[in-house]
């Protein structure tokens, strides 16, 4: 018997209890009492204390929710809706629950909350056909706004096709959406470019005898113009005027925009001229649209006259109107007029930190008037105008290309003061320009500033510094910069090798140049023939040890070019003597086999000269070369070779 009782559902067992002891009845009473007692004075009070559902959920089911909705939803629909929305899954209100609440909210003129109820219905039950449920939500006729609210809810969920079908079905059922809902549907179809469905919806609206308003016709005219059918839009407008419809300034502006977009300026100007006789005064948008069309057609003088006419008629231009005319001047490279108009715009208190300022700066850069542009930027900053980062990038880049690094640094300082964060590319741009102008101390200051701003230098930063230092006779400093570069994990290239070798050769430190050359081979496997040939040329005239160096360096993979061979042959002597010396050198030192470096120790051994010659050369140069050659002969890595330098 006990087993049979255990198989009976708890709800059935609870139904056997008296009403006062039935937990399901009690929970309905508690929830209903809470909903009807709360926010009686202000039903839209968002701070209403929510009900504690923790102990009630085990006794809440579909039947209990239905009872709550029927008892509290009619008199207190908004608290009931909030209660249903707060229910955690899997407990969810059914479509009839939410449809009933939407009807009650619409009846009490809480249309926005009724729309929320329908949106919640579509979110919880996306595959449910809500229209029949909504039409049956009341024992009498449903509220007239419900079909329109359903269309808006479907549009809110981007279900454009379902919204069109719902409007069509509701109209066929005798409960068409209202004008506002149809306008929302028409506007959505126009934005989506679905013009066939738009005119079908307009036909449904006409059959249902839903009276259109001015907004409806503006949407239709906009759709015609967007569909590149401005002529049909003009005919449609005349047809509406015959029917008693009076177009407003928005309608005319839409037509003006359509004509200008298609390049039919004469039609646009004609329509602009007939607006005042028809009782419609052109506004700011009307003038701006025409000015834009005139500027794009190259008729800047007419656009300027339109601008002056607008000001004289009492219409104050905004930033867009100024920007349209400024852009026209910039496109025609009339930078003086653009600059004066920009200053007028700033003087009138309008913000110029957008398109207009960028257009003026870029046009000055394009025509090469950089100093004039700098003289424009300075007073603008005094007026409190923040120059855009893109404009700074454009102007600084142009100054660097024009080899004006100090002006670029000054502008760079302004950029940082305006709160912009400089990029690595901008730092490299200025640093490279300073190096090309031989301002190496300023370039090093820029590198220090990069470190202070936690901008890590890259390969291009180091290459520019090393090349400049070596060119200015500071090869040891260049070598220190390269050592820092290697410590940061970057690998030098042949250009850096050439700069260091040529720099040391120019300063007379041939042994250091030779060690640099060997270090690039042993540590980085870089064979720079240009550097080697530069070193060979530096050994002449009158250096017999160069013949020995030529022979052993060929084992390291270097190839002597004709200019170095001329030096080996005696430089400016006659051809016969050069040939004789070349023959003698070839007899004394036969050609080496094909050069292949196997490893560092083998390469260093092949590169080492006889000890006597090394000492003799080292003695002649103050002992520097002997120690470096011996270090290289022992197969030292980059750190040891660089230390020898």
Query: Per residue in 181-205, pLDDT tens?
Result: 999 999 999 999 888 898 899 899 9
Exposed, middle or buried: residue 18 (CB in 10 Å: 0-12, 13-18, 19+)? exposed
Higher-confidence residue of 142 and 625: namely: 142
Tell me, what's the pLDDT at 41? 43
pLDDT of residue 9 exceeding 50: no
Tell me, what's the pLDDT at 21? 57
State mean pLDDT over 222-235.
Answer: 70
d(CA 79, CA 48): 9
Tell me, what's the pLDDT at 466? 94
**Lowest-pLDDT range of 231-245, 379-393, 441-455, 470-484:** 231-245
Query: Per residue in 540-566, pLDDT tens?
Result: 644 544 544 554 555 455 554 554 544
What integer best gives the mean pLDDT of the chain? 79
Higher-confidence residue of 232 and 441: namely: 441
State mean pLDDT over 618-627.
Answer: 38
Which range, 186-190, 276-280, 544-548, 631-635, has the best average confidence (pLDDT)?
186-190
Q: Name the band, by pLDDT with cuts 50, 70 and 90, for residue 218.
A: confident
Tell me, what's the pLDDT at 611? 36
In three-state secondary structure terms, 508 is coil
Q: Name the band, by pLDDT with cuts 50, 70 and 90, for residue 472.
A: very high
Q: Give the orientation angle of helix 214-226 with respect to helix 179-191, to 10 degrees.
A: 10
Q: Name the band, by pLDDT with cuts 50, 70 and 90, for residue 54.
A: low
- Percentage, residues of the chain above pLDDT 90: 40
Tell me, what's the pLDDT at 570? 46
- Percentage, residues of the chain above pLDDT 70: 75
d(CA 261, CA 626): 81
Q: Name the band, by pLDDT with cuts 50, 70 and 90, for residue 232.
A: low
Non-local (6+) Cβ contacts of 231 within 8 A are: none
Tell me, what's the pLDDT at 316? 92
Tell me, what's the pLDDT at 246? 78
pLDDT of residue 575 exceeding 60: no
Q: Name the band, by pLDDT with cuts 50, 70 and 90, for residue 606.
A: very low
d(CA 558, CA 122): 78
Tell me, what's the pLDDT at 464? 94
Tell me, what's the pLDDT at 525? 82
Q: Name the band, by pLDDT with cuts 50, 70 and 90, for residue 593.
A: very low
Query: Per residue in 286-301, pLDDT tens?
Result: 999 999 999 999 999 9
pLDDT of residue 273 exceeding 60: yes
Query: Per residue in 309-338, pLDDT tens?
Result: 999 999 999 999 999 999 999 999 999 999
Alpha carbon 319 to its chain centroid, in Å, reads: 23
pLDDT of residue 571 exceeding 50: no
State mean pLDDT over 378-394.
Answer: 89
State mean pLDDT over 461-489.
Answer: 92
Higher-confidence residue of 523 and 113: namely: 113
Q: Do residues 570 and 541 lie in contact, with contact meaning Cβ atoms separated by under 8 Å?
A: yes
Closest C-alpha among 616, 592, 607, 611 to residue 641: 607
Exposed, middle or buried: residue 406 (CB in 10 Å: 0-12, 13-18, 19+)? middle
Tell me, what's the pLDDT at 448? 93
């Amino acid at each position: 018997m006990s087993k049979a009782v255990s198989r009976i559902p708890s709800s059935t067992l609870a139904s056997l209890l008296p009403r006062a002891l039935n937990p399901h009845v009690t929970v309905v009473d508690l929830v209903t009492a809470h909903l009807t007692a709360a926010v009686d004075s202000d039903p839209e009070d968002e701070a209403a204390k929510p009900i504690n559902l923790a102990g009630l959920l085990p006794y809440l089911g579909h039947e209990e929710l239905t009872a709550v909705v029927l008892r509290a939803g009619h008199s207190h629909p908004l608290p009931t809706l909030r209660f249903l929305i707060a229910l955690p899954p899997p407990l969810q209100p059914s479509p009839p629950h939410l449809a009933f609440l939407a009807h009650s909210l619409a009846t009490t003129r809480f249309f926005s909350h009724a729309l929320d109820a329908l949106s919640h219905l579509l979110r919880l039950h996306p595959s449910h056909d809500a229209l029949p449920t909504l039409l049956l939500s009341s024992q009498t006729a449903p509220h007239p706004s419900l079909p329109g609210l359903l269309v808006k809810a479907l549009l809110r969920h981007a279900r454009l096709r379902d919204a069109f079908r719902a409007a069509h079905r509701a109209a066929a059922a005798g409960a068409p959406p209202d004008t506002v809902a149809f306008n929302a549907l028409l506007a959505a179809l126009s934005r989506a470019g679905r013009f066939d469905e738009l005119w079908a919806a307009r036909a449904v609206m006409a059959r249902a005898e839903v009276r259109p308003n001015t907004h409806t016709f503006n949407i239709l005219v906009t759709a015609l113009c967007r569909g590149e059918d401005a002529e049909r839009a003009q005919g449609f407008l005349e047809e509406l005027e015959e029917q008693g419809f009076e177009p407003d300034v928005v309608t005319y502006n839409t037509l003006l925009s359509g004509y200008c977009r298609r390049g039919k300026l004469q039609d646009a100007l004609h329509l602009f001229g007939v607006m005042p006789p028809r009782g419609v005064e052109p506004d700011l948008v009307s003038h701006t649209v025409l000015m834009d069309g005139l500027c794009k057609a190259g008729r800047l003088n007419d656009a300027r006259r339109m601008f002056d006419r607008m000001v004289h008629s009492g219409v104050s231009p905004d930033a867009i109107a100024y920007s349209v005319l400024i852009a026209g001047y910039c496109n025609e490279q009339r930078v003086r007029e653009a600059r004066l108009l920009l200053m007028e715009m700033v003087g009138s208190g309008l913000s110029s930190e957008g398109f207009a300022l960028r257009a003026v700066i870029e046009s000055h850069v394009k025509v090469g008037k950089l100093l004039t542009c700098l003289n424009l930027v300075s007073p603008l900053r005094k007026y409190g105008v923040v120059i855009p980062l893109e404009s700074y990038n454009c102007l600084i880049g142009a100054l660097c290309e024009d080899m004006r690094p100090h002006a670029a640094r000054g502008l760079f300082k302004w950029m940082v003061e305006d709160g912009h964060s400089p990029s690595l590319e901008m730092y490299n741009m200025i640093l490279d320009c300073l190096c090309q102008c031989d301002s190496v101390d300023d370039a090093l200051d820029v590198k220090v500033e990069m470190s202070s701003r936690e901008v890590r230098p890259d390969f291009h930063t180091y290459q520019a510094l090393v090349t400049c230092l070596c060119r200015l006779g500071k090869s040891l400093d260049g070598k220190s910069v390269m050592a820092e570069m290697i410590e940061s994990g970057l690998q030098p290239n042949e250009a850096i090798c050439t700069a260091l070798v040529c720099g040391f050769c120019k300063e007379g430190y041939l042994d250091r140049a030779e060690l640099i050359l060997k270090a690039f081979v042993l540590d980085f496997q870089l064979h720079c023939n240009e550097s080697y040939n530069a070193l060979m040329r530096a050994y002449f005239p009158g250096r017999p040890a160069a013949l020995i160096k030529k022979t052993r360096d060929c084992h390291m993979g270097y190839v002597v070019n004709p200019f170095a061979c001329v030096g080996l042959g005696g430089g400016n002597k006659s051809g016969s003597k050069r040939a004789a010396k070349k023959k003698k050198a070839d007899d004394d030192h036969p050609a080496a086999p094909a050069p292949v470096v196997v490893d560092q120790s083998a390469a260093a051994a092949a590169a080492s000269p006889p000890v006597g010659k090394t000492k003799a050369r080292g003695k002649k140069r103050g002992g520097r070369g002997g120690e470096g050659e011996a270090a290289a002969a022992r197969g030292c890595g980059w750190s040891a070779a660089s230390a020898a330098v």
